[in-house]
Amino acid sequence: MGREVDLLRSIPKAKRNISAREEAKDPAVVAASCEFGELYFDGPRDYGYGGYSYDGRWVQVAHDIIAHFGLKAGDRVLDVGCAKGYLVKDLCDALPGLEVYGLDISEYALMNCPADVVGRLHLGTAEHLPFPDGSFDCVLSLDCVHNLPRDRAKTALREIQRLSGGRAFVRVDSYHTAEQKAVFESWVLTAKFHDYPDGWLKLFEEAGYTGDYAWTIIS
């Protein structure tokens, strides 16, 4: 088993209006959000990001990932759930010669990626990663796996393990207390599976996932 490590510690803490989200959330809003289209990324905050544009927040994260995994020019990295490819861009910029690719289920996100990552991003699902065994030196998946039901999340973790051999990092929705769980459930739109850390660790074990991990805690 890998270890818990916060590779996203440099990202500013998001300001969330929990009560406004809870009041606006209904089945139609949740269904629209789960399409991961324009509404989710660039529509009103009720549906997701409330506008997702490049702001440089991934630059330090990219350097931290490179340092954590000891990556070098020529290594291959895959970002599963890459959205618009901002982390892919910043990893490429941080280490010239690093071969970085992304995969996402959202055609809208991929069609709105930075020009310098065109050709590096693939349309697809985390459950069926279209690459050979062991074909990446590092696989990342940030806030993606929890958007699948438990059995499918296990399949996605197995796929990440298959491609990376355990040189991987995933971050998923979790909580440490009943109060945090209640806040999370008021906010969440797209997560199909979530649990306390012990529940996630059990799933990692079932999937044979041996990479590193972190938790997204909503507050």
Task: Give the count of beta carbons closer than 10 Å to the beta carbon of residue 63.
Answer: 15
CB 184 within 8 A of CB 16: no
Here the tokens at position 214 are 């972190």
Q: Give residue 159's domain range.
A: 53-216
DSSP one-letter code for 186: H
Q: Is the residue at 41 inside a domain?
A: no
- Cα dihedral 28→33→38→41 (10° resolution): 140
Count of CA atoms in the C-beta half-sphere (13 A) of 17: 12
Alpha carbon distance, N-terminus to C-terminus of the chain: 28
Here the tokens at position 79 are 């970002």
Helix (H, G, I), strand (E, B), or coil: what is residue 214? strand
Q: Is the residue at 28 inside a domain?
A: no
Residue 21's pLDDT is 73
Residue 14's pLDDT is 73
Q: Is the residue at 30 inside a domain?
A: no
Q: Is the residue at 140 inside a domain?
A: yes
Tens digit of each residue's pLDDT, the chain (219 residues): 799 999 999 998 877 777 777 777 889 999 999 999 999 999 999 999 999 999 999 999 999 999 999 999 999 999 999 999 999 999 999 999 999 999 999 999 999 999 999 999 999 999 999 999 999 999 999 999 999 999 999 999 999 999 999 999 999 999 999 999 999 999 899 999 999 999 999 999 999 999 999 999 987
Q: Is the residue at 43 inside a domain?
A: no
Q: Is the residue at 33 inside a domain?
A: no
The strand pairing partners of 168, in sequence order, are 139
- Of 124, 137, 144, give the one whose Cα is nearest residue 78: 137
- Domain harbouring 155, CATH code: 3.40.50.150
Report the domain count for the chain: 1
DSSP E strands in the chain: the ranges are 76-80, 99-104, 121-123, 138-142, 168-173, 212-216
Q: Is the residue at 44 inside a domain?
A: no
Residue 177's pLDDT is 96
Q: Is the residue at 69 inside a domain?
A: yes
CB 77 within 8 A of CB 100: yes
Residue 132's pLDDT is 97
Count of CA atoms in the C-beta half-sphere (13 A) of 4: 9
d(CA 20, CA 13): 18
Here the tokens at position 92 are 């490429």
Task: Give the count of beta carbons closer than 10 Å to the beta carbon of residue 55.
Answer: 9
d(CA 160, CA 151): 15
CB 164 within 8 A of CB 139: yes
Task: Tell me the DSSP string of 192-205.
Answer: S----HHHHHHHHH
